[in-house]
A and B are shown apart, each in its own frame.
Chain A
Amino acid sequence: MKKKWLALIVVAAMLLGTMGTGFAATAAIESSDAAAEYQIIVINDRSLIAVSDIISLGYDVVQNGKFIDIKDSTTNFLFELGSRVVGVNEIEVKIDAAPIKNGNESYIPMAFFFEVLNYEVSWNQTLGKIEIEKRADTLYPVKIESFGFVYDCAKPAKTISSTAPSVTELLFSIGAGERIQTRSSYCDYPAQASQIPAAGSLYDPSIEVIVAAAPEVLIAQTHFKPEVLVQLTKAGIDVVAVESPSTIDGMVALVKQLGVITGNEAEARALATSMEQRVQRTRNLVKNVQRPNVYYVVGTGQWGEYTATSDTFINDVMQTAGLNNVAANATGWKYSLEKLVEQDPESILGGAYNLDTMRTSENYAILTAVQNNQLFDIDENVYSRPALRIIDVGIPELLKLFHPDLDRSLIE
């Protein structure tokens, strides 16, 4: 598509008045070279655009029964009518709106489509129109500087090593999993990850195994030993040390960065948009709910109380899912038994071992959550790793536990 900028002028009332119901309307499109009318449908607060308009914008579209195949030079979409799963090149992502058929016309989710093609889609309140603006394409070489390590990425890396479980999960989610040469022994998800040679721990990986695998780039995360990374750079392996995201937004940014490193940018944008849309929908859903007081136990008992404090990823997940994290007033994972008793949360989330400690030790007997047996055993790996599973499994699980009346159908 040649147009660098286009704007869909949509009557404001049209968006506001269509909660949950869909109707077709026309919208004028202003673009740098021409003005045209486009057909927009709004369903569940998401705008869908007619496939015929996509064709007129210059995309290659093949419609075959329920399937709508859209191509541009680098990206191949496969939409299915009625399905929230979209194929983008080699991967599939779940979004919060499904393509529909209205009369003879098919409609596809507009924002998702343009976001994947690297447009910024936003609603301009004052002009009353949707603005779609092309973002700058990544120009290689890209320089990534972090933790004192400089990675000059001349072109997307074909082979990668990962030392962090969440990075490994995200690489699989953007379709770069098969290019991972070594992983850490903690990288146990998805199942295919276990086929990759393991190279020790996050902090102290086996340099020999990594050097022997000779990946173009090694991606490490927060918990690394600088000396090891220096050794690897000396052995000619480029190193990117990314910060472990402490928010969902940070995770989305990391997804896009991984897209740049691996060259799977369309897939990364698809995943990022899928995550963002479902999170945004969750946040809207819980906007006015009563937030239960919940405590997330990371460690407990004799070795002290550790929890997901305000500066942790898990805290952001809890807030997003409409919970009030009682430890949001503390930082650095540390808490105290006294404060826990003072806060007296209604429910406690954590791994089975920690919850057992709380159930059996007399020190926790006064807690309302213990007395009412509101201790919920969750998979700690899902919650502690900023990866797709938090969106697919974690947040829906929290909603199911604490806000069972809310409609999760577009989030799960």
Chain B
Amino acid sequence: MILKTKTQKYLGIVALIIGLFILIVFAVGFGAVQIPWRSVVRIMLDGVFGRTSIDEHTRFIVLNLRIPRILMAVMVGMLLSLVGTSYQAVFKNPMADPYLLGTSSGAALGATLALLVPQLQVFGYFGVTVFAFLGAITTTLIVYFLAKSGNQISTVSLLLSGIIMSSFLSAIISLLMIFHHEEIAMIYNWTLGSFNGASWSGLKLAVPILGIGNFVMSFWAKDLNVLLLGDAQAYSLGIDAQNVKRKILILSSILAAVAVSMSGIIGFVGLIVPHFFRMIVGPDHRYLLIYATLGGGVFLLLCDTIARSLLSNAEIPVGVVTAILGAPFFMILLYRTKQGKE
């Protein structure tokens, strides 16, 4: 734990918010098409004052392609990290991530079906997102009810049924890919995760859900703290651990499903960001949730900015960047913490 006092912790939050804002402004200046900073600033000011002094296509690139994409990366980063934090507490398992309960494979199957079955393309372009969400939420619920016995939810059976369900659905996707080899590239690319298709209408869905999720989750921060002590301990403190787990699981799964359906599958964010901030601010979820949420946004935006500007004419899948940046960083951190303990 690096930030020890309350003041330090609050200052840290302010610093993260400022950092995120600076990064957002910075990211708008980067992209496949070179747009001078002056133009970017003018376009943003024009947006505020309702003027149109820059050519239409450049304006479209900044306002309708870059900014939604940047905000989407922040949103998804926040969602994944928030979910990761809560899952890790509920399962008392440091390996828990937003995809644990079959969320990602459910989303992938939903997206695959939407890509393959013309009758499902009623929502047009949005169909893939809608069906990815339906797939994710359905799978998560099935896993949840599979693991539930009576009123009890055992962590082990949740993890097990999550893993089994994931393998089962992945097998179905592979089977579908073999029968529809023409669409293999589309399906495969979907599973890699990207913010390429981000748009304002996608954001209109993601922002309120993130807002509600964050708001509700912050109410449960104390409950999450208690869960870390174990079910019996929680019970003795007058908290129904099963009930708390159920509420948090359901909310988290919805958030994870939204994130996956927006961007495809982006690994590592939900796993490492919460751990990183746990090392910095400690396990108290009243702070950790805020830190992890903001930090997830910063981290994924950083990765996406690198993903789309590192190579001049190609984009690196953002999931590749999250892993390449995240893993070594995490290893160093882990090593240092271990050193500190010894």
Residue pair B61, A341 in contact (C-beta under 8 Å): yes
A327-351 Cβ-contact flags toward B at 8 Å (1 or 0): 0011110111111011010000000
Residue pair A361, B199 in contact (C-beta under 8 Å): yes
A305 in the interface, Cβ–Cβ < 8 Å?
yes
* Binding site secondary structure of chain B: helix
Contacts of B140 in A (CB 8 A): none
B60 in the interface, Cβ–Cβ < 8 Å?
yes
B39 in the interface, Cβ–Cβ < 8 Å?
no
Nearest CB of chain B from residue A330's CB, rounded to whole Å:
5
Nearest CB of chain B from residue A16's CB, rounded to whole Å:
44
B231 in the interface, Cβ–Cβ < 8 Å?
no
Residue pair A338, B197 in contact (C-beta under 8 Å): no
Residue pair A299, B186 in contact (C-beta under 8 Å): yes
Partner of B199, one of A332, A362, A366: A362
Q: A338-B65, A357-B125, A366-B64 are in contact. Are A201 and B181 (CB under 8 A)?
A: yes
Residue pair B125, A337 in contact (C-beta under 8 Å): no
Which of A186, A329, A341 has the most chain B CB atoms inside 10 A of its CB? A341
B196 in the interface, Cβ–Cβ < 8 Å?
yes
Nearest CB of chain A from residue B129's CB, rounded to whole Å:
8
Residue pair B314, A302 in contact (C-beta under 8 Å): no
Cα–Cα distance between A362 and B200 once the two chains are bound (Å): 8
Which of A186, A201, A360 has the most chain B CB atoms inside 10 A of its CB? A360
Nearest CB of chain B from residue A377's CB, rounded to whole Å:
14
Q: Which residue of B lies closest to A329 (CB)?
A: B313
Residue pair B65, A356 in contact (C-beta under 8 Å): no
Cα–Cα distance between A344 and B59 once the two chains are bound (Å): 13
Contacts of A362 in B (CB 8 A): 64, 199-201
Cα–Cα distance between A331 and B314 once the two chains are bound (Å): 9
Q: A299-B186, A339-B33 are in contact. Are A334 and B196 (CB under 8 A)?
A: no
Cα–Cα distance between A332 and B315 once the two chains are bound (Å): 11
B162 in the interface, Cβ–Cβ < 8 Å?
no
Contacts of B121 in A (CB 8 A): 356
Residue pair B181, A363 in contact (C-beta under 8 Å): no
Contacts of B196 in A (CB 8 A): 301-305, 337
Cα–Cα distance between A201 and B56 once the two chains are bound (Å): 45
Cα–Cα distance between A286 and B197 once the two chains are bound (Å): 36
Cα–Cα distance between A277 and B314 once the two chains are bound (Å): 37
Residue pair A337, B314 in contact (C-beta under 8 Å): no
Residue pair A366, B56 in contact (C-beta under 8 Å): yes
Nearest CB of chain B from residue A20's CB, rounded to whole Å:
44
Interface magnitude class on chain B: 20 to 34
Contacts of B190 in A (CB 8 A): 302-303
Partner of A303, one of B56, B61, B192: B192
Residue pair A338, B32 in contact (C-beta under 8 Å): yes
B245 in the interface, Cβ–Cβ < 8 Å?
no
Q: Which residue of A lies closest to B32 (CB)?
A: A336
Partner of B57, one of A302, A304, A336, A342: A342
A89 in the interface, Cβ–Cβ < 8 Å?
no
Within 8 A of A (CB), among B179-205: 181, 185-186, 189-190, 192, 194, 196-197, 199-201
Q: Which residue of A lies closest to B111 (CB)?
A: A302
Cα–Cα distance between A335 and B308 once the two chains are bound (Å): 11
Nearest CB of chain B from residue A40's CB, rounded to whole Å:
50
Q: How many residues on A have C-beta within 8 angstroms of the other chain's C-beta atoms?
A: 29
Contacts of B308 in A (CB 8 A): 336
B110-144 Cβ-contact flags toward A at 8 Å (1 or 0): 00000000000100111011000000000000000
Nearest CB of chain B from residue A204's CB, rounded to whole Å:
10
Contacts of B31 in A (CB 8 A): 336, 338
Partner of B197, one of A329, A335, A356, A361: A361
Q: Which residue of B lies closest to A330 (CB)?
A: B313
Q: Which residue of B lies closest to A351 (CB)?
A: B182
A185 in the interface, Cβ–Cβ < 8 Å?
yes
B106 in the interface, Cβ–Cβ < 8 Å?
no
Cα–Cα distance between A336 and B126 once the two chains are bound (Å): 20
Nearest CB of chain A from residue B190's CB, rounded to whole Å:
6
Q: Which residue of A lies closest to B313 (CB)?
A: A330
Q: A342-B57, A363-B64 are in contact. Are A303 and B313 (CB under 8 A)?
A: no
Residue pair A186, B181 in contact (C-beta under 8 Å): yes
Contacts of B313 in A (CB 8 A): 329-332, 334-336, 339
Contacts of A360 in B (CB 8 A): 124-126
B275 in the interface, Cβ–Cβ < 8 Å?
no
B278 in the interface, Cβ–Cβ < 8 Å?
no
Nearest CB of chain B from residue A118's CB, rounded to whole Å:
40
Residue pair B57, A299 in contact (C-beta under 8 Å): no
Q: Which residue of A lies closest to B68 (CB)?
A: A363
Which of B189, B199, B314, B315 has the most chain A CB atoms inside 10 A of its CB? B314
Partner of B60, one of A304, A329, A332, A366: A366
Q: Which residue of B lies closest to A327 (CB)?
A: B313
Cα–Cα distance between A302 and B265 once the two chains are bound (Å): 12
Contacts of A303 in B (CB 8 A): 185-186, 189-190, 192, 194, 196-197, 264
Q: Which A residues have a C-beta under 8 Å from some C-beta of B?
A: 185-186, 201, 299, 301-305, 329-332, 334-339, 341-342, 344, 356-357, 360-363, 366
9 contacts across the A-B interface (CB closer than 8 A): A185-B181, A299-B185, A302-B189, A302-B197, A332-B313, A342-B33, A344-B57, A362-B64, A363-B199
List 3 A-B pairs, minimum CB-CB distance, nearest first.
A303-B189, A336-B32, A302-B197
User: Knowing that A301-B196, A302-B197, A341-B60 are A-B contacts, what are 4 other residue pairs whose CB atoms are under 8 Å apart, sorted by A's residue number?
Assistant: A299-B186, A303-B189, A338-B33, A341-B33
